Amino acid sequence: MESLAALYKNHIVTLQERTRDVLARFKLDALLIHSGELFNVFLDDHPYPFKVNPQFKAWVPVTQVPNCWLLVDGVNKPKLWFYLPVDYWHNVEPLPTSFWTEEVEVVALPKADGIGSQLPAARGNIGYIGPVPERALQLDIAASNINPKGVIDYLHYYRAYKTDYELACMREAQKMAVSGHRGGGRGLPFRHERVRHQPGVPDRHGTSRYRCSIQQHCGAERTCRRAALHETGSSGTV
């Protein structure tokens, strides 16, 4: 099997090809893809959990860092501004150096509002892809180029066509999931009940099905969780 670095390199080649195509179709010069921002809970000083823009993480495996920006034009090396504040109170992700960073130009962004001075001066023909339209307007992105429907539709369509890199990542993720399910299964008693197909009743799953009912429900969830965590060697949430 190819190394993850080699798979990722080919992955970027594919994304660059798609980018050239979508830019030509919609007459844009580049796409500015925003990882997203933190939003505080109403009447609170704590933010909601961060959820990265899926079009951002399609390019780079950065899923826990808000205020990051990626500029892609399908020709030049993708440029990532990685949010790296000086912060005493909060944990700050270090500047990444991994299997994928050879394919992307990574630049530290110490202040979230500092991206404006980093971008090209001519932005009238750049498309913004992200969850904060008002931020794009502040960066002088044309309103018509903020999450343009045709571009979004194109990107969504091709998300269904996974590259070999994406398939490898999905398989790796399933290894942990399978271990967790097996560990949970050993810690939780099941009763398997055969359900016979009744004549005249449609059965999409064949002539017979199996139904699992959980016995001794009280306390079983904790047993399942402990077994799954032990199996995966994890100390967090399965």
Q: Give CA–CA dist 132/38, Å, rounded.
A: 10
Structural domains of the chain ordered from first start? 4-161 (3.40.350.10), 167-232 (no CATH)
Q: Which of 37, 103, 111, 99 is nearest to 67 (CA)?
A: 37
Answer yes or no: is pLDDT of 214 > 60: no
Q: Note the pLDDT of residue 197.
A: 54
pLDDT at 200: 57
Q: Quick check: 180 pLDDT over 60?
A: yes
Question: Residue 199 has what pLDDT?
Answer: 59
Q: What integer pLDDT is reported at residue 187 of this predicted model?
A: 74
Say what the pTM is: 0.76
- Nearest-angstrom CA–CA distance, 12 and 78: 9
pLDDT of 63: 96
For residue range 70-118, what is the model confidence (pLDDT) as tens digits? 999 999 999 999 999 987 777 788 999 999 999 999 999 999 999 999 9
pLDDT at 202: 56
Residue 182: per-residue pLDDT: 82
Higher-scoring residue by pLDDT: 168, 45? 168
The residues with which 171 forms a beta bridge, in sequence order, are: none
Partners of 237 in the beta sheet? none
Mean pLDDT score, 201-227:
44
- Identify the pLDDT of residue 238: 38
pLDDT of residue 127: 98
> Distance of CA 88 to CAs 63, 91, 93, 98, 115, Å?
22, 8, 13, 25, 22
- Which residues are registered as beta bridge partners of 164? none
Using left for φ > 0, alpha for ψ between -120 and 50, and beta otherwise, residue 214 falls in: beta
What's the pLDDT tens digit per position in 194-212?
A: 555 555 555 555 444 434 4
- Judged against a pLDDT cut of 60, whether residue 143 lies above it is answered with yes
Confidence of residue 190 (pLDDT cuts 50, 70, 90): low
What is the Cβ-side half-sphere exposure of residue 90, based on CA atoms within 13 angstroms?
9
Mean pLDDT of 44-60: 95
CA 132 to each of CA 38, 84, 217, 234: distance values in angstroms, whole numbers, following the listed order: 10, 20, 44, 34
Residue 12, pLDDT > 60, answer yes
| pLDDT mean over 138-151 | 97
How much is the average pLDDT of 19-35?
A: 98
